[in-house]
Amino acid sequence: MTTATANAIVSRHQSAPLSTTFAETFEIRPLDAPLGAEVIGLDLSQSLSNADFARIHRAHLDYHVVVFRDQQITPAQQIAFSRRFGPLQIHVLHQFQLPGHPEVLVVSNVVENGKPIGLGDAGHFWHSDLSYKEKPSLGSLLHARELPAKGGDTLFANMHLAWDTLPPALQNAVDGLRAEHTYLARYAELQQRSPWRPNLTPEQIAQVKPVLQPVVRTHPETGRKAIFVSEHFTTRIVGLPEDESRDLLDQLFAHSTRPAHIYRHQWQAHDLVFWDNRSLLHLAAGCPPGLRRVMYRTTIEGDVPR
C-alpha cells in the first residue's frame, strides 16, 4: 500500500483501525545503549490503531525511551497522541505555555522582544519530571521544532539498571525509606544563573508544596524497582540525621548517573522523544549561546508512587 493510499483511507475513516498491512510497516529498533529504541516509518499525524498503540506502549515499557523519527506533527496532534496514555499535566510555569495549547510547555532558549518564549534552562540538573507532585509524571514527550547546529543533547539514565547494580548493602539501607521532593529545591539557584526563571506567585507556590516519595519505587506496570531520587528535586531522606541523609543521597545520585546507565540522545529534525519518568532520570546538556532551540513538551500524569 502506498503512503498516499494509506493517508486517503485514514482521512475517510478516522475512527476505524488501520489495516494490518499498514500497522506492520513501522519498525521498532533497539538502540545500542542501556535503554531506548527508535520507531521508524510511523506517521503520528495519522490515526493510530489499537494494535499499533499496543506495540508502542509495550516498547515504552521495555525500552523506557522511544524515539519517533521525522514527526512533522502539530501541537494538537502531539496532545492527542499523549492523551492516549493518560490525562495531561499542566506545568506550574504557565508563563511558558504554548498560546492556545496550555498542555504544551515551550522549552526554548529563544528571547523575543526582550522576553523568553520558553523555559530555557529546563533539565539543568538530573531529575524525573514532576517528582515533586503527589502524582508524578508517567512520561513526557518532547518534540523538536527548531534545533541548534550543534549541542542540545538530552541524556537519560536507567533507574532500573541503577537499582539492579546498587551494592546490596546500599539496597538494604535505602529500600523502604521515603524522601522529600520539592520544585523549589534549587529554584533560587537557577534564578541566579539565567533569565528563564520568573518569580513565582503565591498561587504557583501553592501548586508545588513538598511531597514525600519512596526512595525506591516499584513500576506500576512492570513491577520492576527503580531508584526515585534526583539532584534537582530531592532534598532529604525522612527520619535520618541530616548528615546521614546527605551521604545516602550523594551515593545514590553518583551511582544513578554512572556512564554505564546512560543513553545520550542527539536530536534529529522533527524527533519526538517519549520517556518514562518512572524508570529514568534525564538531563539537558545545553547548547552554545546564540544557537536557537525550540521544543514542545507534553507531560502525562502518573500514579502515586509505591
Comparing CA positions, the residue from 129, 174, 189, 180 lying closest to residue 154 is 129
The β-bridge partners of 108 are 294
Q: What is the CA radius of gyration of the chain?
A: 20
Active site residue ranges: 127, 129, 282, 297
Place of cell 494509506: 6
Question: How many angstroms separate the CA atoms of 119 and 93, rounded?
Answer: 8
Residue 94 vs residues 105, 107, 135, 210, 232: alpha-carbon distances, Å: 8, 12, 19, 19, 20
CA 3, CA 9: separation in Å to the nearest integer? 10
Q: Measuring CA to CA, which residue among 191, 211, 185 is closest to residue 126? A: 185
Residue 84's closest CA among 274, 277, 265, 295?
Answer: 274
Q: Where are the beta strands (DSSP E) in 147-293?
A: 154-158, 178-181, 211-214, 216-218, 225-227, 234-237, 262-265, 272-276, 280-284
Query: In which region does residue 277 sit, left (phi positive, over 0), alpha (psi from -120 to 50) or beta (all else)?
Result: alpha
